[in-house]
Structure 1
Amino acid sequence: MTALTYLLAGMLVWGGIGWLVDHWVGTKGIFAGIGAVVGIGGGIYLIVRRLGA
């Protein structure tokens, strides 16, 4: 359950930051997609680092 939480939280937080950047720059979803991918990568990093999976 913790691993799923790390993945979802990373995707939502970084995707949200990307959405804000999209809104500020005037693009449509480019940075939100990049942010979601970065968030998933960060979530995987945390899973490996903290849970040793």
Structure 2
Amino acid sequence: MTAVSYLIAGMVVWGGIGWLVDHFVGTRGIFAGFGAVLGVAGGVYLIVRRLGA
């Protein structure tokens, strides 16, 4: 359950930050997509680092 929460939280937080950047820059979803991918990558990193999976 912890691993799933790391993935979801990373995607939501970094995707949200990307959405905010999209809003201020005027693009349509480019940074939100990058942010979501970055969030998933960060979540996988945390899973491997903290849980040793």
TM-score (norm 2): 1.00
State the number of aligned residues.
53
Q: CA RMSD, aligned part only?
A: 0.1
- Other-structure match for 2:47: 47
Task: Report the alpha carbon displacement of residue 38 of structure 1 after superposing the two structures with TM.
Answer: 0.1
Distance 1:49 1:7 in 2: 13
Q: Percent identity?
A: 79
Structure 1: gaps of 5 or more residues: none
List structure 1 runs of 4+ shifted beyond 3 angstroms. none
Distance 1:39 1:10 in 2: 4
